[in-house]
Structure 1
Amino acid sequence: MDLTDARWRKSTRSGASGGDCVEVADNLPGVVAVRDSKDQQGPALIFAPAAWRSFVRSASQR
């Protein structure tokens, strides 16, 4: 998958020190991409938007 046009943003839970964090790109048609902020050239996980919303909703309830 070509992620060239992805606009990555860090998690709002990221600390000021920039420690362990994920970045999310949700501007791509039909997918949400997630990557490790410390390995920006590494692999990204790709989710369908509905699956990502379900994950975020479930995680925010914990």
Structure 2
Amino acid sequence: DVNFDELARCTDDFNGAQLKAVCVEAGMLALRREASIIKHEDFMEGIGVVSAKKKATLQYYA
């Protein structure tokens, strides 16, 4: 089961494009596992990937 409250807390400062990127990344992670269901862990890992890209982008422009 996906805990949407936790996902909302973890992505509070994300914009729409970043939320979409999290969903796409979660889907890709599930595909790599050859799974037909996206799990909560996939979303959490997707959040980590998008957060790292966000941080790298901010450092680039700083």
Q: TM-score, normalised by structure 2?
A: 0.30
Identify the structure with the greater helix proportion.
Answer: 2
Identify the structure with bigger relative contact order (alpha carbons < 8 Å, sequence gap 6+). Answer: 2
Q: TM-score, normalised by structure 1?
A: 0.30
Identify the structure with the greater strand proportion.
Answer: 1
